[in-house]
Amino acid sequence: MRTPDPRITLVIPVLNEARNLEVVLPALPPVHQIIVVDGNSADDSVAVARRFLPEADVLTQTRRGKGNALACGFERVTGDIVIMVDADGSAAPEEIPAFVETLVAGADFAKGTRFTAGGGSDDITLLRRAGNAVLSGLTNLLLRTRFTDLCYGYNAFWADVVPSLGLPEPAGTEPRWGDGFEVETLINCRVALAGLKIAEVPSFERDRIYGTSNLDTFRDGLRVLRVIFRETARSRRKRRRGEAAVSGVDRVVRP
């Protein structure tokens, strides 16, 4: 339900992030629901989540990969707004109100961006920055969007948008396309293809607190590239059928 006073659900995919969760979870603001989706961690991630947030909905994903974790979490959402939050400490919890305000002001999807006024990053490398610029530019060219930061996962949207994402069903154990890190690009493309109103929100990405990222720059970059071409083909099929037009992207500048 879309309301001026929405209930907020945070969905947090987790894989071996116990030390980070000890810092991240206590810093989260009080919200309607927090869903922690564990990817069969080998550390104490689940125990830490239950200790620091006993009221959280803690579950184990059905397959592997961030996409599957998000799909499992989205199934359990009871709030009006869903916010995707990484467990490594890179997402600033104080930015949550800006995402919520953007949605309440009329957007369907609030897209975090590091590459506009008010945004930035302590974490991104030159290689990843260049790759993101190329992939964002290609997506904008092929899908007629105006994304400034395609590969950033700090995003928020109204819960009624979930069906438009078309993520793989959580049921089943066989790997499926969309289960991995490509999910963030897949979500961005699907929201655009659905003709929904997208607004970019400046966001500052912090350094990971502990450990190393599960992201593989080249492998996951190729998966993102595959998403772009697959969704371009999907867009052309939809246009031939006269279905929803591709969305533009509005800019939201934080004062």
pLDDT number for residue 219: 83
pTM assigned to the model:
0.92
Contacting residues for 91 by C-beta, under 8 A, at least 6 apart: 85, 154, 203, 205, 206
User: What residue numbers bound the domain in which 105 lies?
Assistant: 8-253
pLDDT number for residue 247: 55
Q: How far apart, in whole angstroms, are the C-alpha atoms of residue 143 and residue 186?
A: 12
Helices (H), 10-169: 18-27, 45-52, 66-75, 96-104, 126-143, 162-165
Q: How far apart, in whole angstroms, are the C-alpha atoms of residue 157 and residue 77?
A: 12
Per-residue pLDDT of 120-162, as tens digits, reads 999 888 988 998 899 999 999 999 999 999 989 999 999 999 9
Q: Which residue has the tokens 């830490």?
A: 48
pLDDT number for residue 234: 81
Residue 83: name the closest of 186, 170, 13, 185 by CA.
Answer: 13
Q: Which two tokens stand for residue 193?
A: 């293809």
- 111 in any annotated domain: yes
- 1 in any annotated domain: no
- 2 in any annotated domain: no
pLDDT number for residue 252: 53
Mean pLDDT over 88-115 rounds to: 97
- 206 in any annotated domain: yes
- 3 in any annotated domain: no
CATH of the domain at 19: 3.90.550.10
- 204 in any annotated domain: yes
- 59 in any annotated domain: yes
pLDDT number for residue 189: 95
Sign of CA dihedral 236, 166, 82, 225: negative
Do the beta carbons of residue 162 and residue 252 sit within 8 Å? no
Per DSSP, 19 falls in state H
Residue 159, φ and ψ in degrees, nearest 5: -60, -30
Q: Which residues pair with 14 in a beta bridge?
A: 38
Name the domain count of the chain. 1
- CA-CA distances (angstroms) from residue 122 to 24, 73, 156, 206? 17, 28, 21, 5
pLDDT number for residue 255: 37
- Strand 81-84 versus strand 109-113 pairing type: unpaired
Which uninterrupted H or E stretch holds 231?
helix 217-240
pLDDT at 64 over 90: yes
Report the 10 Å Cβ neighbour count for 3.
9
- 218 in any annotated domain: yes
Q: How far apart, in whole angstroms, are the C-alpha atoms of residue 25 and residue 52?
A: 7
Q: Which two tokens stand for residue 152?
A: 């950033």
pLDDT at 246 over 80: no
Per-residue pLDDT of 81-93, as tens digits, reads 999 999 999 999 9
Mean pLDDT over 25-31 rounds to: 97
Q: How far apart, in whole angstroms, are the C-alpha atoms of residue 229 and residue 133?
A: 16
Stronger pLDDT, 231 or 237, i.e. the higher one: 231
Report the 10 Å Cβ neighbour count for 255.
3
Task: Report the residue count for the chain.
Answer: 255
